Structure 1
Amino acid sequence: MSEEEQAFFDNETEELCQMIDDWKATHEDKDLSPEVWQFMKDKGFFGLVIDKKYGGKGFSAYAHSTIVMKVASKSSSAGVTVMVPNSLGPGELLYHYGTDEQKNKFLPDLAKGRQIPCFALTAPEAGSDAASIPDKGIVCMGQYQGQETLGIRLTFNKRYITLAPVATLVGLAFHLYDPEHLLGEQEAIGITCALMPHDHLGVEIGNRAIPLDMCFMNGTVRGEDVFIPIDWIIGGRARAGQGWKMLVECLSIGRSISLPACATATGALSFAMTGAYALVREQFNTSIGNFEGVEEALARIGGLTYILDACRRLTVTAVDHGIKPSVASAIAKYHMTEMSRQVINDAMDIHGGRGILLGPRNYIGRAYQSMPIGITVEGANILTRNLILFGQGAMCAHPYLRKEFYAARDGKLAEFDQALFSHGGYLFKNFCHSFWHGMTAGKLISAPESRLAKYYQQISRMSATFALTSDVALLYLGGALKRKERLSARLGDVMSYLYMASSVLKRYADEGEPKEERIYAEWAVQHCLHNAQVAFEEFYQNFPQRFLARVLRRLTFFWGKPYKAPQDRLDHKIAQDMLNDTEVRRRFSKLTYVPHNDPEDPVGRVEHAFNLRLEVTPILAKVKKAVKAGEIAKGALKGQIEQLRQRGSLSVQELQLLQRYEQARWEVIQVDEFSKESLQNNKKDATIIKRSDVA
């Protein structure tokens, strides 16, 4: 980050996290406090990516991602509240597609929080199939401010709209029709995006929804026969019908930044807190982090978090280079939210009862509770994996497929023949590469100077085989491959794991290949290659042409399956590393809100005990030695401290430090309790809205 971005991250973002009481916001108020809302507006959190000339921060995608990540580590609800105005919404659409007049009118107010935006896309019967939204607008003449005006008469019914209950500026997607040909010859113009004030005549901001007990604002937007001037189309009348293109391009940016940032926040916080808790929490007279079963879960948390951050960094780099990475963003959205789900599940398993009892002391319960939100929004994960990853990626990434398609569509036979001939050469080249690399196990592939050079070779080997397998599948199945969703999904998995493995190697190289990170990088790449191998095998097992499947399998795994999941020894090294104050842990902690000197904060309380535990390690070794020698009895540490004081076995300073640790440890394992009266007083009336137009 630049100096300005780093200062904002270190100061304003840190201060915002300090202000947030997530338990009070989610359990009691069902809203962030007025002070938090005002702070976010005043300090520019809603204008992180708006250009400085419009009063925004003009921050990079990487800074945007890192800021959202830190806020989300303190409060999922606050993270969503910050990310939405900076992601898919009026601000993003205006910045890229708005007219100069629209930009000058709206962007300064959006940047300063004087306007709160929402974007209404999803309808009751059009969720994942967003292109089928029933909302429509008819081009017509109407009255606006006492004058006859060319405009659009809208009817719409939207739900799941984040920030809608507090929005002052509503973005809307709808199908536009021009039956009177007031704009031109075309009658069905297509999906269009427009802006309107929340209090415009006929616009109804409906009731709030509660997404899994989170307190970020979400609700409905409705309207019937709402007339708006034609100039309220984002980009003006010249952009009529271009809404779907605009949405797809901006959606890729949101998927590249917002959801990966929240997923990585869950990973980084789980890394820091679960390792700390596993050291402090003892059962059977030893830290639970020393048990092999817990080590397995800890290693997954550590390795997957490393992948999460590597993939986040690589994907936002594309955005900072002006690329709209539709495929990479889909990979990030699907796999990162799924990995985050695995991480929080493992964190909950290790915390046990400490994690499932909600209250002010619980720092992972709300993250666990909110996990399905990221899985569901901006394209449900089932849809993303089965229809988008490979289906969209094949057309975008293939060097000849797009040329063939458009040449055939437009009847350009010479261009089609040239592309088809080149495609044949490409197919033959990949066949030769796959055969040769399979025979030599990829060991002759050139690779950069690196401690992990063998992994560069194996990713290159699998990439050539993936290209060949994809081409064969496309040539044999043609358009039917899109309907063979599970085959398509497995090819998408291969591509995704190779992308994530590449991102890990890039992150490791960018950091200068530090020795302390090698175990994490190796675990991550081994995990990705093994899962790519599983996806390949499942694809071959289910490919309908059995002869081709056998040939492809032989080329891919000439000497058998080469990739193993990370072994127990590597798991042990990572788990033990997570039980110490290492450089890797410090790096992840810096990306999240981990107060180091605040034992009253739920996260700070664990961090405080963790640091004391590391400090008293030599003293605890003396205690265990005394127990083994029969000098003091087995039992709780508190009783042993008293015995040691009576025997004079420890110095005054050692006893005091041990007592401080014992008190801190005791505070960490405590859970929240509520009286019956306090729970009854917090009851809120819940109303189920029954309307004919609500699904």
Structure 2
Amino acid sequence: MFASLMNWMRDNNILPQISDTERQALEAGDVWIDGQFFSGAVDFDSIIKEPYDKLPAHEQAFLDGPCEQLLDMADAYKMQRTRIVPDEIMHFMADNGFFALQIDEKYGGKPFSTQGKSAVMAKITPHSGVLSSLVVIPNSLGAAELLGHYGTEAQKAHYLPKLANGEYIPCFGLTEPTAGSDAASIKAEGEVFRADDDSIQIRMNFRKRYITLAPIANLISLAVRLHDPDNLLGKGEDAGITVVLLEKGLPGLHIGDHHEPIGEFFANGPIVGRDVVVPVEQVLGGQDYVGQGWRMLMESLAGGRMVSLPATGISAMRVAAAATGAYSMVRHQFGIPIGRMEGVETKVGKMASLSYMFEAARVFGCSAVDHGVQPPVTSAIMKVYSTECAREVGTDAMDIMAGSAVMQGPNNILGRGYCSAPVAITVEGANIMSRTLMIFGQGATRCHPHAYHVVEAVEKNDTDAFKRSLLGWLKQFSLGILLTFIAGLTRGYLGVKAPRSVASDTRHYYRRLGWAARRFGLMTNLAMFFIGGKLKARGNLTGRYADIVAWLYIATATLRRYEAEGRRQEDRVLVDYGVQYALAQIQHAYEGLYENFDGALGWFFRTVGRIGIGVNPLAKMPTDQQANAAAQPLQRYDAQFLRLYEGMYLPKDTEVGLGRLFNAFQLYHEAEPVRVKIKDAQKSARLVRGKVDAVAEQACALGVISAAEYALLKSCQEACLRAIEVDVFTREEFVGQQPHGVTATGNGGQRPETETPLMQAADVA
């Protein structure tokens, strides 16, 4: 019976079909807490024990020392205008190990933890996109990482010290005109042949594009499809995708041209090769790794997606949130801070909670990688949803800061990041593809407790293994139906494993998340049973599944942070809004699933099921009161604000940009007691009615406030006015005939008599 069933499932494409490249992706990395979500049975007590690490002391010292110094040195606006990174900055980065965070000490490196690398990238990115690219590429997927894992001893000894000291600037050549998100379909070709001197060589022809750092790189890790017509390497005629190391200057290699990325400048361009010949020893890892390029990439990306792009997205989110919270208080309209208007306040509250949640997810995920877990599904979630939510937060920030955000110049805090948001969306696979194809498509098979075993058994025609795995699956499926029904009927009070070791005031969130996960496990099984091999074509459906598991992870990470940081009651407002928001996103995704589920169960879900989840929802969107409460931590310059946004670069120059805004915000907070005194005097009729600033002088004369308090209030008023000013350029500055200087408004109305000439520097543009 089982043999017949196995043959029927294979012949009718009941199970997902897995190609060789998909298999390598599925077998790369590890199943982490995402496996509990796909099974439908979540043990939150075990999840709360998962690591949530703090940075080691030496890494924190690097952030507080060299990182701060680098950003103090870097005039981000000048580099954006001139597309030049000064030599002194490049030398400083090389001398202080900014290129070496992925390299072992014995090769001259400064190895950092995953979280440490992520924190460095997060600190640098919002200040300067070009500096970010110079840190991200050498310290994430690329030559140093691949050499460290797979390189021969000779390759490591030659390349790693020169990568560490900046002598080699690396880039990774993967994307092509016809191979973007579907990177496995690359057409770059390498042909193995025997040269006249009897050595084995590779002749390559390729055309790569969108390669970050390519215009300034002198070491390329190139992915090619290797052909060996004479089987000189013993791997067959089609040896498969292979990574080859190329150095700049090879005959036939053309590198140095530029693309022009949207938004903030960074070096990016094409690489073209015509009959480029290298010895076979240039295969990364040597002959043993011929044909293993795709596996190497998948293994590196399994945890690597947790690092650079989430760091850049989340850092942009945090800076936008902090700046917007500050601006909402120093900018007044109709006699009140705009942050006290409900429409603005609601957006600020959402921004505050999302930045808290995603920072939690970043630290939680990086901690897992640092403890040896390489979770490809969770890493993909972090890449997709951190960059998407960063774009959403950036849009809200632009709406609130309005004219201050759309007028470009040294004082514009948001503009470059806002314009650059699509870059992160497209890198390492476009988000729309990762969401609709990868997260659930890979997760449903890889993270499910039984599915992959069943698929393997069918492919191997192993009846005994098929029987064991299928019976285990059917048992899990049957139990899932019962427990999901019970959980729904009792709103998670029964049918889910109740956590014992968590704060009592947040236990109800675990209950609802457990209920949501129960349903997700059941719905995953139904999709695989009733849609099966057609799932790949149902991108809208799989995208909704991805939304559910993503927000399950993000909400769980939020609760993990709350526990790890000592259950700070002042953070509860962010946790409350955030987890409620995540549950509402899960509810919305379930509604979409029910309305669009096809096959034999479609009618049931569209009618009975849809009515049921409408009457008995997981959650609704956060209330106005929750939004108001969540906004407050962003609208007070106090210890909580500084703690929540530690690790973010706070410029020391209080006359320009973010430094100017935060200076005004701090003064506004310090002057609040003075304003309270004046308002109380107005209420008691000691002072006339009117705006605080208008009656402050009279309040001082009458003794309501002291002379020192009056001076503080006046300094606050002046700082707030400066903080909302935008840049003004002379015609010569605007058209580029003169270098930009301190603008009239940015310098308190005083233009300097002389301009400092541009520093002679290395042109990386």
TM-score by structure 2 length? 0.86
* 1:683 Cα offset (Å): 10
**1:44 is aligned with what amino acid?**
G
For the pair 1:35 / 2:85, whether they are aligned, the reply is no
Secondary structure of the 1:479 match is: helix
Q: 2:499 aligns with which of 426, 431, 447?
A: 447
Q: Look up the match of 1:690.
A: none
Call closer, same or farther: CA 1:35–1:648 in 2, change over 3 Å.
Answer: same
Call closer, same or farther: CA 1:649–1:524 in 2, change over 3 Å.
Answer: closer
* 1:204 Cα offset (Å): 0.9
Q: 1:508 aligns with which of 556, 562, 568?
A: 562
Q: Look up the match of 1:653.
A: 708
Whole-angstrom CA distance in 2 between matches of 1:495 and 1:252: 17
* 1:316 Cα offset (Å): 1.0
Q: Look up the match of 2:206.
A: 156
* 1:384 Cα offset (Å): 0.7
For the pair 1:373 / 2:423, whether they are aligned, the reply is yes
* 1:176 Cα offset (Å): 0.5
Q: Look up the match of 1:138.
A: 191
* 1:396 Cα offset (Å): 1.1
Q: 1:88 aligns with which of 141, 145, 158?
A: 141
Is this contact kept in 1: 2:591–2:613, CA < 8 A? Answer: no
Call closer, same or farther: CA 1:177–1:333 in 2, change over 3 Å.
Answer: same
Call closer, same or farther: CA 1:172–1:514 in 2, change over 3 Å.
Answer: same
Q: Look up the match of 2:636.
A: 580
Q: Look up the match of 1:691.
A: none
* 1:662 Cα offset (Å): 1.7
Aligned 1:95-494 pairs, distance under 5 A? 95-142=148-195, 147-184=197-234, 186-444=236-494, 445=496, 446-448=498-500, 449-450=502-503, 451-494=505-548
Deviates more, 1:291-300 or 1:655-664: 655-664
* 1:548 Cα offset (Å): 4.8
Call closer, same or farther: CA 1:90–1:64 in 2, change over 3 Å.
Answer: same
Whole-angstrom CA distance in 2 between matches of 1:388 and 1:579: 39
Call closer, same or farther: CA 1:558–1:509 in 2, change over 3 Å.
Answer: same
Q: Look up the match of 2:753.
A: none
Instruction: Report Cα offsets for 1:43-72 as digits up to 9, x if no partner.
Output: 111111212222111110011111110111
Whole-angstrom CA distance in 2 between matches of 1:118 and 1:72: 18
Whole-angstrom CA distance in 2 between matches of 1:541 and 1:377: 32
Q: Look up the match of 2:721.
A: 666
**2:724 is aligned with what amino acid?**
I
Structure 2 residue runs of 5 or longer lacking an equivalent are: 1-54, 740-765
Identity across the alignment (%): 38
* 1:680 Cα offset (Å): 2.0
Instruction: Report Cα offsets for 1:427-464 as digits up to 9, x if no partner.
Output: 11111110111121111342233121111111111111
TM-score by structure 1 length? 0.94
For the pair 1:77 / 2:133, whether they are aligned, the reply is no
Whole-angstrom CA distance in 2 between matches of 1:660 and 1:522: 37
Q: Look up the match of 2:747.
A: none
Whole-angstrom CA distance in 2 between matches of 1:25 and 1:6: 27
Instruction: Report Cα offsets for 1:582-602 as digits up to 9, x if no partner.
Output: 44421233121014x531242
Whole-angstrom CA distance in 2 between matches of 1:503 and 1:634: 47
* 1:474 Cα offset (Å): 0.7
Q: Look up the match of 1:692.
A: none
Whole-angstrom CA distance in 2 between matches of 1:633 and 1:529: 46
Call closer, same or farther: CA 1:418–1:210 in 2, change over 3 Å.
Answer: same
Call closer, same or farther: CA 1:193–1:656 in 2, change over 3 Å.
Answer: same
Is this contact kept in 2: 1:493–1:532, CA < 8 A? Answer: yes
Is this contact kept in 1: 2:697–2:710, CA < 8 A? Answer: no
Q: Look up the match of 2:674.
A: 619
Instruction: Report Cα offsets for 1:279-330 as digits up to 9, x if no partner.
Output: 1111111111111001111011111101110111121122112222110011
Whole-angstrom CA distance in 2 between matches of 1:558 and 1:418: 38
Call closer, same or farther: CA 1:520–1:31 in 2, change over 3 Å.
Answer: same
Is this contact kept in 2: 1:142–1:227, CA < 8 A? Answer: no
Q: Look up the match of 1:606.
A: 661
* 1:230 Cα offset (Å): 0.5
Q: Please report the RMSD computed on the Cα atoms of aligned residues, expressed in angstroms.
A: 2.0
**2:280 is aligned with what amino acid?**
I
Q: Look up the match of 1:570.
A: 626
Is this contact kept in 1: 2:408–2:727, CA < 8 A? Answer: yes
* 1:136 Cα offset (Å): 0.3
Whole-angstrom CA distance in 2 between matches of 1:556 and 1:333: 33
* 1:481 Cα offset (Å): 1.1
Aligned 1:553-568 pairs, distance under 5 A? 553=609, 557=613, 560-568=616-624
> How many residue pairs get matched?
678
* 1:214 Cα offset (Å): 2.1
Instruction: Report Cα offsets for 1:506-560 as digits up to 9, x if no partner.
Output: 1111111110111111111111111111111111111113245269937973952
Whole-angstrom CA distance in 2 between matches of 1:195 and 1:320: 28
Whole-angstrom CA distance in 1 between matches of 2:621 and 2:393: 17
Q: Look up the match of 1:4.
A: 58
Deviates more, 1:35-44 or 1:564-573: 35-44
Is this contact kept in 2: 1:25–1:31, CA < 8 A? Answer: yes
**1:659 is aligned with what amino acid?**
K
Q: Look up the match of 1:688.
A: none
Whole-angstrom CA distance in 2 between matches of 1:348 and 1:69: 21
Q: Look up the match of 1:68.
A: 121
Is this contact kept in 2: 1:270–1:343, CA < 8 A? Answer: yes
Is this contact kept in 1: 2:262–2:419, CA < 8 A? Answer: yes
* 1:229 Cα offset (Å): 0.5
Instruction: Report Cα offsets for 1:206-259 as digits up to 9, x if no partner.
Output: 411221142221111111011111010111011011111111222233311001
Secondary structure of the 2:493 match is: coil
Whole-angstrom CA distance in 2 between matches of 1:299 and 1:273: 13
Deviates more, 1:431-440 or 1:555-564: 555-564
For the pair 1:543 / 2:597, whether they are aligned, the reply is yes
Relative contact order higher in (CA < 8 Å, ≥ 6 apart): 2
Call closer, same or farther: CA 1:185–1:217 in 2, change over 3 Å.
Answer: closer
Whole-angstrom CA distance in 1 between matches of 2:356 and 2:737: 40
Q: Look up the match of 2:80.
A: 26
Whole-angstrom CA distance in 1 between matches of 2:248 and 2:334: 60
Call closer, same or farther: CA 1:640–1:33 in 2, change over 3 Å.
Answer: farther
Call closer, same or farther: CA 1:407–1:196 in 2, change over 3 Å.
Answer: same
Call closer, same or farther: CA 1:551–1:650 in 2, change over 3 Å.
Answer: closer
Call closer, same or farther: CA 1:471–1:215 in 2, change over 3 Å.
Answer: same
* 1:677 Cα offset (Å): 2.0
Whole-angstrom CA distance in 1 between matches of 2:64 and 2:416: 24
Whole-angstrom CA distance in 2 between matches of 1:198 and 1:564: 57
